[in-house]
Structure 1
């Protein structure tokens, strides 16, 4: 079965080369670019007889990339026939291209066979000429000329083959880098989506959770007087306004062009007292130990969000009271204890708040724990986050 190794574009180019070989060979014949044959008694061969080897050589040029070994065989036969009639420039150039093409496009081991063949022919010609002329100097010179003429296209083919191999390796490396870059981009997009989902939950879900809880209480209690109902409605209104403000702030942050490395945060941990007082339906005993200091932006915002989520969970799932401790030391430690009510924290929300607090803590290299804790006054739910920070980051 014949296998054609060249593509359509290469085949069209080689067909053009073959046409040029025929036309160029005819021109070289008419200007006398050929020598006498090895049989002087027969005289010079007519030009029309040389057209046969020329056409065969041109056909070998057409096969140079599609069937390189077949091209070498046909080219060698055409060169030998032309050499016997009297070597011509046209077939010599074509044969040089046959040697180059077989090395550059043929099997890898072809170069060793061609170099060995060239050296053998060169030594044979040198010895024959040295013996015939009784001059080893001329034999050595002819051997060097033949070696140079026959090995030069082979070595050129080797260099071109190595270049193509390096180019293919570089393209494959570039494709691998592109795939890795695409994977990195997808990872960054997923990480950004996770961060946005966490921020959206922490910023809005707490406020709307409080609104839902207060609205349910207002609907279920039909015995409330008008003053109490107005107080609850005002609390609902304040919670909705705070949630809307948080949502607008996030949208503005997403719309802002560019990314600042030290972009200011909208909330800080030193606002903990105001945050504790703003949680509806929860009485918070807040304590701050250690020496409060300025924190890096990421730690400051994460600490505020963790405290906000912990107090919101205490309000939704607890008994209306909570103890919060913020300790400033080598790391910021936030601890919130609240008695467990009738519903386990995270049971009706899929635990999204707990997951968000854990992710925020892990991103900063800290530790987070949440769960029931034995207590003399009953079972207490404790949330504890340790946020390390470096003072050089501030």
Structure 2
């Protein structure tokens, strides 16, 4: 439309000869208006715009019009070759070359040879150059699109390979867990149940009334082995599943800390420990990462307490603030007779040391802090404390 406005200004200021000779005003302006209107739709409807432009230029040339419409028509040729269908682009490549050669030969045969050649060159510039320029740009664009598609295909194949390798490894892990660990847990559960059954029958035969501490320990072993076997089977099913770990998986939650403490009470009673839990009535909404981290830290701390703490009172405290979650587990460090108990890390480095390192690593991964050691405010006690931030993405 800017070209149309420029041509209109030229005609108004006295350029009829520039616009195509001594012709009526409407005849000079109307073809330009039609062609410039067609250019508005050159990218959305390239074929229709080219057809309108071709018809308009043909009529204008027969009527003896000027070069203005031809210049606008070159833009329609360019747009049709660039935005049109592939078949239209091929037709324009062949058609413009054929039309240029035919016009040049005709002009040379019926007129002056040099003038015919010169006119043929002008026609080539007006018809061939816009089409072939569009062809070059179109080919470059198609190559770029092909490269992007190839890169996307490579990424998809790489992701598929990664998932295949991951699934294979998970299947192998599931098989090893099932064949090795699960079988051992099953054997522990079966043998402890058998011993309890035989001992119970013997006690009924002998009329014994007192409960044997060994039987209590065996009961704890059986309960924990059965529960561990159930969790192991659930983990095997999860590893073999194609969807992997999802948000709807039954993951540990903060609301389950009370149940975790209750689960540890039988073993604690057998070890002479009294568990006292101080937990909020309602935990705040936190991310799943924080929930799992907090649960596992308390679980590992209780495990260490059951393994290494002296008899006495164990305090499990959890406090949820606006920005952080504070966890602490305090347990006796001294023996009842007053002799200092060996620290858990010194007594069983392979067990407790790995547990402390795991708890510290879990807290650090979510941006929290962790410390474990003798409680200087309460001599003779061991304290595990973790502070976890609540500002985590779910």
Length-normalised TM-score, structure 1: 0.45
The alignment's TM-score, normalised by the length of structure 2, stands at 0.45
